[in-house]
Structure 1
Amino acid sequence: MFTTKSFIKKNKIGNYLKHVREHYIRDDIFCGFSCCETCSLVESSLTEEYVNKCSLFKFNHYLILDTNIILEQMDVLEEPIIGNCIILHTVLKEVKHRSLPIYKRLMSIVDNPSRHFYIFTNDHHKDTFMPQKDGELINDYNDRLIRKACSWYMDHLPNKKFVLLTDDRANKNLAKEDEIPAVTTTEYVKHLDEQVALGDKLKKKDSEVQKDAKSIFPPHLSTSAMLIGIKEGKLYQGTFRASRDNFLEGFVNVEGFEDNVLVQGRKGLNRAVDGDVVAVQMFDKTEWVSPSEIVLEDEGVSEENIKDIQKNENELKKNAKNSKKDEIRPTGCVVGIIRRKWRQYCGILQGNSDGLYQIFVPADSSIPKIRIETRQAEFLRSQKFIVTIDSWPQHSRYPHGHFVRALGKIGQQSTENEVVLLEHDVPHSQFSEEVLSCLPKLPWLITDDDVKKRVDLRGIDICSVDPPGCTDIDDALHCRPIEGDRLEVGVHIADVSHFIRPGTALDLEAASRATTVYLINKRIDMVPELLSSNLCSLRGGEERFAFSCIWEMDKEANIINTRFHKSIIKSKKAMTYEEAQITIDDKSKNDSIAQSLRNLNMLAKILKKGRLQKGALVLASPEVKIRMDSETMEPLDVEIKKMFETNSMVEEFMLLANISVAQKILEDFPDCAMLRRHPTPPSTNFDPLVKAGKHLGFDMKIDSGKNLAQSLDDATCETNPYLNTMLRILATRCMLQAVYFPSGAMQKDEYFHYGLAVPLYTHFTSPIRRYADIIVHRLLAVTCGADSTYPNLLNKQKTVELCQNLNYRNRMAQYAGRASVAFNTHLFFKGKVQDEEGYVLYVRKNALQILIPKYGLECNLFLATKGETSNIFEYDEDNQTQKAGNLIIHSFDRVVVRMSLDSKNIQHEKFTLQLVEPFIEGFSVQPLGQTEMEVDTNEAKTDKKRKSTSEKGNNKRKS
């Protein structure tokens, strides 16, 4: 049955057109109750056996949920004490439109039969559908449909009781006029048996400012005022990023500005939280200042005691007055919030204060503390738990939030892993049944039809080279001589796109996750293990589908021709980097694999030399390997990863394959090829590097990547062999992040990859762990005629949205990996005190930032106690030095420091450093004796375990 609505509309040329809309309605939609004798019976989890225990009502009842309840109170709805809920289709559509994450959380409840949720298609039922009135707002129309459905249920099943749950005051009042029982979430929860825990989960509304409440922050502009200001060029829109070194400082990344806009102080930050999209007002150029040289850590200032914050703000103002002209940055203040990027945060309670209101300290130090209301503070003191922000009133020093759920006891490794994943927004739930149903059934066999569609390379001696313990092997290589004294070189990549078809649940899940995340003792796969570690993994001795990029080269690594095709391969051997290196170096080995590896290594050296001559950068960042106890999973040792020539060999051919594929897909898809660019950093980014080089007597040229690469090559010192590495680490910090983008969204001169010094680049070589590579495989398959296209693949706007998610997920995965390393490093150092060699990376006004190469750690050595000025050191801002008597400390000077882990603040454990060498009277400490180097009471036991522990689970990390 159809219902129609027609309306007259005048077009651009003055003619009147009649529009007719049809809406499909039915008379066979099930109400959800098995006892109903009128409706056709369909499976439903609504049941009389489950009883909603709210003392407001003296009868068992079924809840009908308003839209705002689901959008704002999902943390409450996820609790099992609430059940027998009817979700109207009108509500479901609006939730999906307004928040896809909330929609997914709701559907996971609906899919759980123990929760007794039922979706009623009210907007297509003949008795509950109503047409929208002329001029009626969509929200009012939806509310009217909800009330109509409630009334229908009450008439349809008079023996059942129904309650509308709504936090919308107007909708609640109108419902009561229609004699529909209606209550707010707060009213309902307060009368539940378990209201203590649930009460903490209620989202709090913005608090009304009391007449005597003093405003701490300036008011935010309205949305309309911000939009007008941005349109007129008086305001600028950008993403706010909190400083990692100074909690009273941040930056706003404004598109089109060469430099980020600096914001300082509480009023300058004006309630912006890291990741928020904000409107910023620029100061007059005479008021621009330089970023602070002060390291400021929030040490837990209480809400009542703000003297320390005021003192710190005074330090910022003093620093601003002394800003040098060549170091000032565009400066402004946040005047409004365009879009909040609030999410769930992990952390702990601060201190031991009593009462209903508590201060929550997030694990992420860039997030401000959060004021929560809780009745279970005593329990939560021992827990790490999740909080979400609800609002940040103008009169409150902290944002207001509510408790979501406890994660586990503080310090437990399982808890910390969960914290790392949640804190970095890493999707890590189990794959759903819908996703798993997309997987091939075992046993999986290659058929004759598969062979006909692919190039059969099973007879070629192909091998893979990866880190030890790697199970998600997505690349393999071969090199063999061909006629004319030439070499055939092949890069063979797992054909993941064969198993993941566009638009399936598996495809959508992989696109959402975007990347595999590697923690120290855990891997969060982008795709189910059946694919990542089995059917797609190019394991030795097993037949697998691959996508091959094959070059014909001469022995000078010049490419004569390139071809791409889908293939079937059978890797002869899966090797580690070390095994491959031993094979190359062992002259007694002359089998086909050994010869192949030697030729690959020879060609790779030529390719790398050519890249470096074109200006490719060789940067550095300490990569740490943590050896774990196989039984207890506790860290046994922390060390820098050992690199072999074979690491570079594999890297060179992966880079070459990515470049070759980028050229091919751009040729056939000029508007929607997924590429990867590395933007040229603004010149001001290089200020720390240029300044450090100048003080060391090196002229760091930054006008081009090639000149920078040459400057880094020339900056060596015989007396300090680690100096060049530190300069490269410093150069790495100056870089912008590489990002994915569709070719049609940028001009061609913007495609350039600064770090690699190539005009065109993409990701093709790791589809098991990167979704971008799957998209590139699909594009390449179309160019080769191996597969057909589909609408979203050629939709530039869809690709732009996909790239935004990929860039975000990749960044978060990187941060999560670092956080996992940091936690396990801290775990290893607990109870230990030792002296280690280090180097001064930065000289700050109140601290030295020390790099400890042995462990890849960077720690602050503070030169005075908090809140005091040093009477030993004198800071020279012009030369970036600290002077103590006749001794001058420069960047990159060698030092010896005493390391210990300060666990007083269990939320933010940190290393405490004391200076051993050079010795400064009244400041340095004497070297430790040999017997004092380690105070681990389980030393002998640890050593015994260390000897028997093999290196397992080293995760795959390739460029």
Structure 2
Amino acid sequence: MTFLKLTNRKGERHVQKYFYKLNANNRINKIVREVYLRNDISCGIEKCNICENNKKKLLDGERSILILDLNTLIKYMDFLYDCDIDNILIPLSIYDYIKSFNKILYKKLRNLCYDVDEESIIEGSSSSSSFNHNKRFCVFVNTFCKFTYVEDNKDDTNGFNKELQEIIKIVIWLKHHNNKLNIKVISNNKLLQEDCYNNDIPCSTLFEYVNELMKGNDYKKKNKEGKKFNMDTLKMYFEEDILNEHNDSKADHTESTCDQKTYHTLNNLSLNSNNNNNKRPLYEPHLSKSDMIQKLRENKIIKGVFSVICVNKLALVKFSDVDEIVIRGTKYMNRAIHNDVVAVEIIDEPNEDLYEEDYLEEQISPEEEEEEEEIEEEVEVEIEEVGEKVKIEINNMNKEKLQNSYIKNEDVKEKENVIDIYNKNNDIVQKDMINLYEKKMNITYDKQINENIYNNINNRHISEKKKLYGKVVGIISRCRKEYGGIIKEYSNNLNNIKKKLMFFKAFNNKIPYIMIKAQLEDELRNKRVIVTIDNWDIYSRNPLGRCISVLGNCDDIETETKLIYNEYNISTREFSENVYKCLPPNNWVIPDEEYEKRNDFRNVLTFSIDPPGCQDIDDALSVEFLQQDGNIEKNYIYRIGVHIADVSYFVKQNSPIDLEASKRCTTVYLINQRVDMLPKLLTTNLCSLVEGEERLTYSCIFCFNKDFDIIDISVKKCIIKSNKSFSYEQAQNVIDDKNDQSDTAKSLRLLNKIAKHLKQKWSNDGALELRGNTEVLFEFEANDFSKAKNLKPYVCYETNKLIEAFMLLANRSVARIIFQNFKAASVLRRHPPPKHEYLKELNDYLKTIQVFDFKYNTSKDLSHSINNINLKNDNILSNILKVMVTKCMNEAVFISGYNVHNNDMLRHYGLAADIYTFFTSPIRRYADIMVHRILNHIYQIEELDKKYLDIIYLNKQVALLNDKYRNARFASRASVDFFSYLYIKKIGNQITNAVITNLKKNGIQIFLIDYFTEGICYLKRKDGFLFDEKKKRFIKIDKYKNELFHLSFYDKIQVHMQVDNYDIKCQNHFIFIKKI
């Protein structure tokens, strides 16, 4: 909340307000502040002639104005946030209290009160993907208003009575201010209801008000126009009110108690659990925040980001760029949830270890978890193997089930180019999260703290180069969010578990099962729902949560799309009116002054090459044949223009459209729809380099000699007019048609030759070509996405590589320009080297199939090894190798010039580039717009906003770019998986051939030859499969323990492919049939 400096005015007075604060030295300081009470505070109501200084009036004076107390806001925040009920006034005193004591609720309340025009009430911005800013919520500044200010009462230790007085004072003043207002207080508090009754103020509970609202004609009219809440949603949000509707006396007693406790339990909002007095704690209590701060200073604990490898079994806490702590087992994970910022205490190495790379991840149900605890027998299994006995000791008959929870589904999804490789750990985002929390905790965090712990406490681990092990002792910051998934009934025989207790399986396999208290099984059964976690106490195996919204039925395309958007935090809200006001008119034409300032390429042969049906065309190429001296052909040089849409011309710095784009960061492409970063007037019209239209561009001009060496580079603002928009296939056909000797055909052939020359040069330097034949395309019937008629491999033409080569060339060149001329503000793309141990494991696999020339010490060695295997004409092995090498890679990330301390931090490993950035796709990537603005500053076209020189802003924006860019890729993959599932469901279960690409202790990863994709096949011990860890293979035995066959890397097998209706991700399921 930001306030302007106040001056004394006639009729104003000021009071002193004091509070106590713990400083960095753990001393309590008394803070005294002067509060100026003004007599000109705006009421915030439309058509109010008295408040002349109102800049923005939010509330509708002709409708009922609601004032909610603190308890109602806390209890029904999700309802207020999700459903269309508004015209609500929030007292600043309540707003500030929530801000101080519960950051999660505060974020939602801030979004509700967010003013998109002025941001005058609330600082920051909304990150909600579906929130509608047209709601009327207003924060009334009662603590600065002379007529509504209430002094502190020393006897009122929790501030409870003060809240009642403030609400009554606000209502009385508003009625005196405008006697025509219809004001209603919403509260469950009997004391407040009684005070309202004594002062003739209407008061009711929120449940009573909504019931009354739904019976009125006004609601019925609005409901037809798309209002969200109905009886089903009311049952979900007001479940307790419905159950207690006929037991008012009991409810009255509990409500009064609940209100009094609100001030002490604001940080512990949860469902009431059963009496735990007789239960044995399953977890250790967490340290308090003050204890964690103290232990951090004393180097006794480590702060890091909790990253789940196998839910409830194994996690890593990364606390530096290279160091991480292994957290093994539910007990030591201690109720931490994926992406929480946690405090970890170092412990001795456990007796047995579970390694991330040993298992494939598979979530097990609560029933299976219970079975694991009940059985504690120890057995021995002997297997005959080539004349020798291998003894396998199993500490638990169901240990296999424990191990089966270890498949990482993400491992089989790495299908994209190395530039966009996924890795679960993102250092930049983690550091930004930690730094943000440190500021909120008002402590100075010394980066040496964790290093001192690592060096001083664990010298034994370092000297022996062993892993660090630890246990979670506290949660510094919860990564709370709303999870999408499905609710299943929890069938068990325990008497103390009521029938209404159900479990929720999240879309994200890293999230544990969430127990749900629900009375409405029929409404929630087999539905896609959104659930939030309320609490996880030391007596409960699983966290407790509640359902806050129902998305729809399983397998419904619209519902599953919503689920993907929710899981990856994709903003789907419509652009605001202020954003649209930034756009030029539909009939906009290029102004005359731009023709004078820009280079004219309208008469130069120019064309674009894109996927079929592409509308947002970012780039185009122009070709000119120039003579250097005389008419001798050998002296001809070639001038190639890489023209990129000049989006920064339309998207002005700090404008509403710029702010919105900076939050979205990228366009998201799903199979059935896309979510644009910018409005369509720009993406598909004014910025798109369509055929036959004059367009503004930012262009890189390259001059080549006859040997295709670059002899000159320049960056210019240009105007072009594309002669032709090709698809990749159309352009390839022109190149291949020897009878076509047109200028366009000659130009395309020249570009193809130059592209091959560039690609070969970069390959010699160590650039990796990891694009295999693993991408798929869907064919639908008449654009009906529910009817996929075919699934086929994506065909990559030479023209794909042609465009890629010139885009890479432009990006490399621009990166060098911005870094040399404006290092501090430059936005670069970094790709660190891969993990050596993963490549070593891949090398061991390749040796088993007689591939001994796989080298990987440098990117050049790795590139040559991949190319050598390509020459063997084994397309299946080539594709598998590229997929597996991709999995070994670290993630490519954005980085700001501020954080570049040496040349190694600039290098892009996958491209063998000393420096790299994104410049060529500003229509769909905000990073490219930032780079365009830096170029504008360098060439003195436009002054760069000073925020680009602010390291805090730049690091925060770069972290957001990484987060949004990654989520967009994951969302696209999830969409492909879902439509693959629908296709298999349509054609029925299939028997297909596959190749084994990886073996873990509980299953194999496979490559489906006919479907050009990967999958997972679990191999169970109960089915006779035993894993030989030494030789990295599975042995199939019969009931007499005789070996039938074994499965190794690159073996061909037959699997039964079927849809998995239970799996929340709607993926295909594979069952082993036989070895072929």
Instruction: Report the CA distance shift for 1:431/1:299 in structure 2 as closer, same or farther (over 3 A).
Output: same
- Displacement after TM superposition at 1:114 (Å): 9.1
Select which of 808, 811, 835 maps to 1:655: 808
**Which of 725, 732, 738 is residue 587 of structure 1 equivalent to?**
738
Q: CA deviation at 1:673?
A: 0.7
Is 1:878 aligned to 2:1030, yes or no? Answer: yes
Q: CA deviation at 1:155?
A: 4.3
Aligned to 1:568: 719
Hey, what's the Cα distance between the residues in 2 that align with 1:763 and 1:652? 14
Query: Which is further off, 368-377 or 279-288?
Result: 279-288
1:239 paired residue number: 305
1:31 is displaced (CA, Å) by 5.9
Aligned to 1:216: 282
Candidates 989, 992, 997, aligned match of 1:833: 989
> What are the superposed Cα offsets for residues 794-840 of structure 1, whole Å, 9 maximum, x if unpaired?
22210100011111111111111111000100100015233323110
Secondary structure of 1:843's counterpart equals strand
Alignment correspondent of 1:75: 78
Cα RMSD of the aligned pairs, angstroms, is 4.2
Opposite residue 475 of structure 2, the aligned amino acid is I
Counterpart selection for 1:646 from 774, 780, 799: 799
Query: Alignment partner for residue 688 of structure 1, among 834, 841, 846?
Result: 841
Of 120-129 and 37-46, more deviation after overlay is shown by: 37-46
Q: Which stretch shifts more, 222-231 or 753-762? A: 222-231
Structure 2 residue corresponding to 1:802, chosen from 949, 957, 962: 957
Provide the rounded CA distance (Å) in 2 between the counterparts of 1:514 and 1:113: 20
Give, in whole Å, the separation in 2 of the partners of 1:717 and 1:592: 35
Deviations 1:556-603 (A, max 9, x none): 332222111211111111111111111111122222222221111111
Q: Deviations over 1:734-764 (max 9, x none)?
A: 1111111111113122121111111211111
1:500 deviation in Å? Answer: 0.9
The residue number in structure 2 matching 1:895 is 1053
Aligned-pair CA distance for 1:229: 3.7
Query: C-alpha offsets along residues 764-812 of structure 1, whole Å, 9 cap, x if unaligned?
Result: 1111111111101100111112211111122221010001111111111
AA in 2 matched with 1:734: C
Which residue of structure 2 aligns with residue 2 of structure 1?
7
Does 2:238 correspond to 1:199? yes
- What residue identity is the alignment partner of 1:78? Y
Is this contact kept in 2: 1:290–1:329, CA < 8 A? no
Partner of 2:169: 151
Query: Paired residue for 2:886, among 732, 741, 753?
Result: 732
Q: 1:610 aligns with which of 751, 754, 761?
A: 761
* Mapped partners of 1:143, 1:786: distance in 2: 60
2:885 alignment partner, SS class: helix
Say if 2:993 and 2:1008, in contact at 8 Å, map to a contact too. yes
How far is the alpha carbon of 1:219 from its aligned partner? 2.3
Which amino acid is 1:376 matched to?
Answer: L
Maintained 8 Å contact 1:765/1:773: yes
Instruction: Give the distance between the partners of 2:51 and 2:711, measured in 1 at CA.
Output: 76
TM superposition shift of 1:672: 1.8
Q: 1:817 to 1:773 in 2, by over 3 A?
A: same
CA contact (8 A) 1:189 1:198 kept: no
Structure 1 residues 43 and 454: alpha-carbon distance in aligned structure 2, compared to 1, 3 A threshold: same
| Matching residue of 1:13 | none
Q: Deviations over 1:307-359 (max 9, x none)?
A: 37976984599999xxxx99974433333222211211112220376844322
Residues in 1 aligned to 2:369 and 2:808: alpha-carbon distance in whole angstroms: 56
Letter in structure 2 aligned against 1:892: Y
Residues 520 and 820, structure 1, Cα contact 8 Å, conserved in 2: yes
CA contact (8 A) 2:1017 2:1072 kept: yes
1:87 Cα shift?
2.6
- Offset of 1:184 from its aligned partner? 8.9
More displaced 10-residue stretch of structure 1: 790-799 or 94-103:
94-103
Q: Secondary structure at the match of 1:331?
A: strand
SS at match of 1:390: strand
Aligned residues: 887
CA contact (8 A) 1:128 1:148 kept: yes
TM-score by length of 1: 0.83
Secondary structure of residue in 2 paired with 1:740: strand
For the pair 1:62 / 2:66, whether they are aligned, the reply is: yes
Q: Deviations over 1:681-727 (max 9, x none)?
A: 33234343233233334354333222222333334695954223212
Which of the numbers 540, 561, 565 marks the counterpart of 1:396?
A: 540
Pair 775,689 (structure 1): closer, same or farther in 2 beyond 3 Å? same
Cα offset, 1:908, TM superposition: 4.7
Give 3-state SS (helix, strand or coil) of 1:271's partner.
Answer: coil
Query: Structure 2 vs 1, CA of residues 787 and 305 (structure 1 numbering), >3 Å: closer, same or farther?
Result: same
Alpha-carbon distance in structure 1 between the residues aligned to 2:93 and 2:783: 53
Report the equivalent of 2:1068: 910
**Paired residue for 2:469?**
331
Classify the secondary structure of the residue corresponding to 1:722: helix
Aligned residue for 2:528? Answer: 384
The correspondence for 1:307, drawn from 372, 376, 389, is 372
Which has the higher mean CA deviation after the structures are superposed, 253-262 or 657-666? 253-262
Q: 1:282 aligns with which of 346, 353, 358?
A: 346
C-alpha distance in 2 between matches for 1:346 and 1:702: 41
Question: Structure 1 residues 116 and 758 mapped into 2: Cα distance closer, same or farther (>3 Å)?
Answer: closer
- In the superposition, the TM-score normalised over structure 2's length comes to 0.74
**In structure 2, C-alpha distance between the alignment counterparts of 1:467 and 1:887, rounded to whole Å:** 46
Change (3 A) 1:359 1:554: same
Contact kept, 8 Å, 1:274 with 1:366, in 2: the verdict is: yes
In structure 2, the partner of 1:14 is: none
Contact 1:675 1:742 in 2 (8 A): yes
Amino acid at match of 1:422: N
Match of 2:125?
none
Alignment of 1:122-161 (within 5 A): 122=142, 125-128=145-148, 148=166, 150-157=168-175
Instruction: State whether residues 360 and 404 of structure 2, in contact with CA within 8 Å, keep that contact through their aligned partners in structure 1.
Output: no
- Paired residue for 2:140? 120
> What 5-or-longer segments of structure 1 have no aligned partner?
9-18, 51-60, 919-959
Are 1:342 and 2:487 counterparts? no
| Cα 1:185/1:804, change in 2 over 3 Å | farther
Contact 2:164/2:192 (8 A) holds in 1: no
CA deviations over 1:604-645 (Å, ceiling 9, x no partner): 111111111111122246222112222532221112211011
Shift of 1:297: 2.3
Aligned to 1:953: none
Matched, 1:664 2:817: yes
In the alignment, the residues of structure 2 paired with residue 814 and residue 38 of structure 1 have an alpha-carbon distance, to the nearest angstrom, of 50
Moved more, 816-825 or 391-400: 391-400
* Offset of residue 527 of structure 1: 0.8
Letter in 2 for 1:584: I
Match of 1:368, SS?
Answer: coil
Aligned equivalents of 1:705, 1:170: Cα separation in 2: 73
Deviations 1:540-570 (A, max 9, x none): 1111111001112223332222111211111
Task: Tell me the distance in 1 between the aligned counterparts of 2:826 and 2:652.
Answer: 18
Deviations 1:474-532 (A, max 9, x none): 01112222233221111111111111111121111111111111111111111111111
Aligned-pair distance for 1:536? 0.8
Amino acid in structure 1 at the alignment position of 2:860: K
Point out the more displaced range, 373-382 or 571-580.
Answer: 373-382
Match of 1:32 among 39, 45, 53: 45
Pairing 1:272–2:336 present: yes
Secondary structure at the residue paired with 1:350? strand
Partner of 1:941: none
Q: Equivalents in 1 of 2:362, 2:1064: separation in Å?
A: 15
Task: Confirm or deny: 8 A CA contact 1:662 1:760 kept in the other structure.
Answer: yes
- 1:534 shift after superposition: 0.9
- Asked if the contact 2:701/2:713 (under 8 Å) is kept, the reply is yes
Q: Distance in 1 between matches of 2:846 and 2:877?
A: 10
